[in-house]
Structure 1
């Protein structure tokens, strides 16, 4: 039996009004975030370094390629000349042609490390920026001593590399590429309450096994590899994008479309996937922390001891200490949209001013060219 148009009209009108109100709220947040970004762009004048740089990428493809691209883009803005090479390119021949002041290598696991000895013998400074500490320190501990400067994103790894014979070791976290991770308008059909993008490592599987039964009624998204290992995977299958690697732009779009973005760091002592036999702890932040914030998205993250060096907990970022604390805070902040959006905007402002790749590379250049004799 067909329903009469008159019976459907009240539901249509109510739904249209809800959609209108939601769009108004989301549009206002996007406008405020865009204003923060535009104000920063108008005031920000990146320092131009009169240096020639050869940047050697990780050469490992996705998911490392977005990091390669972010660093390369910042270097092109900041230096007199920057050339990008893959680790299997003829590096010594490129150096003869470019005559760089610095060879900067990202991650360094593909490039033969003894090439650095030849480069250094020519009076060219070499630097390694390690992106996966402490998870592969069994490998990177053998690579790092070949470089004049070593930069690690993990604070707890500084003593380790010093013990390996590296005399110039510095703490330099990764950051955000604000040209990719930025506030975006959101299509209504893509909005969701909660999202997490990342690999289903065992510590994450254990965590979501506990919280998903309490959030099954929520509109959530999990995306990445290995989520089939969830205890009730079939129950949540429709909300999981299994085996997908999202590119940076799509990841940014998901962050902007989510009321809460979860950040859960991987475990340093997971013997299944790490090469960290010394069990060096992880206390520093992953790049996801900065990327979520750069989108003007609200972030709920697990606690790491170095977090307060970058954001003010409770004002710019919200942490959780346990699965039960996580669920409690999800329910709290979903019911308080204005408070949630204010926190996200404060994190966006802090990120643009302090946590972009341009700021990180400015620190790197200062250490190499201004704080080091010769």
Structure 2
């Protein structure tokens, strides 16, 4: 058993799932959420001090990065961990990484390198890397980094509890990107009962203000939901969409949709190492193929029950956070490199 410090963003509370997985393996876990701004008042102050000036072009987020770095480094000093797991962490500066000198640690990236503030040179100096991106892993390994490809996962401790009968709707839970908006609009225009969840889709005036926009998409939409509610939504839908777009790593939704026993319609035909197309998930490569799947599954119910059972079984056997943490533990045993 080790004293483990988990340093993570607050993104949808996934740090809780990772912490629980570490604890289940016998570790004494402390968690520091480096972008936690302290409740409603703290979030409001964050918008005024950092986000608003940045949106208006009157400042940068460098001050925010310095503040987050100082807090994280102080936590390391106070916690005196025996091992450290950093999730993403690209806004944390050299002071934080220097505070980890000599400590076993690993950094898990859930974004492609190009979407972070990291460079290969920086990653070389901070120690072992785990990445959800197979392409980035290949590039890291070619550059001599201590890297491993590690997909994302399902939080099996957050059990869905949908109420009422299963609906005929096709759900999507997540951010609104152009490729996603086009797909949902195509389904809506062709009579598929689709509904999107999230602040980017919502017509609520508060959500429009939060996302700096005036209009809203024409498709039916609901406001943000918690991760637990998202699990319920997917489980109770006739089918749920997993739309990637410009990503080579598989989203968290890949494992969550299957983990809750949903019929997952995914835009990745290269999913086979993780799930079996046709038996555990349904794949498509065009809007017309997606429309046909929705009509077959959401409107007719074809093959749904078998897919739900098989998808959940595969996920619980191979794709939980407990499975991923076991891989991350192995990185702590590798030789440490000097910090930069």
Q: TM-score, length-normalised on structure 1?
A: 0.70
Alignment-derived partner of residue 316 in structure 1: 280
5+ long unaligned stretches in structure 1: 1-49, 268-281
Q: Deviations over 1:267-320 (max 9, x none)?
A: 2xxxxxxxxxxxxxx333111010111111111110152x11110111111101
For residues 59-78 of structure 1, the aligned pairs below 5 Å read 61=10, 64-78=11-25
5+ long unaligned stretches in structure 2: 35-67, 204-212
1:108: Cα distance to partner? 0.3
Residues 57 and 68, structure 1, Cα contact 8 Å, conserved in 2:
yes
Q: Deviations over 1:189-242 (max 9, x none)?
A: x73421111111111122233332112xx433112244479x9944x3xx212x
For residues 33-52 of structure 1, the aligned pairs below 5 Å read 50-52=1-3
Paired with 1:331 and 1:56, the residues of 2 have a C-alpha distance of: 44
Bigger CA radius of gyration = 1
Alignment-derived partner of residue 40 in structure 1: none
1:252: Cα distance to partner? 1.0
Matched, 1:252 2:246: no
Matched, 1:145 2:128: no
Q: Deviations over 1:109-134 (max 9, x none)?
A: 232244323422xx211211111224
Matched, 1:129 2:108: yes
Secondary structure of the 2:330 match is helix
Matched, 1:340 2:319: no
Change (3 A) 1:211 1:314: same
Q: TM-score, length-normalised on structure 2?
A: 0.77
For residues 270-349 of structure 1, the aligned pairs below 5 Å read 282-305=247-270, 307-337=271-301, 339-349=303-313
Alignment-derived partner of residue 264 in structure 1: 243
Alignment-derived partner of residue 23 in structure 1: none
Paired with 1:373 and 1:135, the residues of 2 have a C-alpha distance of: 27
1:138: Cα distance to partner? 5.0
For residues 358-369 of structure 1, the aligned pairs below 5 Å read 358-369=322-333
Residues 192 and 259, structure 1, Cα contact 8 Å, conserved in 2:
yes
Alignment-derived partner of residue 355 in structure 1: 319
Paired with 1:152 and 1:86, the residues of 2 have a C-alpha distance of: 20
Runs of 4+ with deviation above 6 angstroms: none
Alignment-derived partner of residue 198 in structure 2: 224
Structure 1 vs Structure 2 CA RMSD: 2.6
**Aligned residue pairs, count:** 291
1:366: Cα distance to partner? 2.5
Alignment-derived partner of residue 178 in structure 1: 156
Please identify which structure carries the higher helix content.
1
Secondary structure of the 1:309 match is coil
Secondary structure of the 1:53 match is strand
Matched, 1:53 2:29: no
Alignment-derived partner of residue 187 in structure 1: 164
Matched, 1:79 2:26: yes
1:174: Cα distance to partner? 1.2
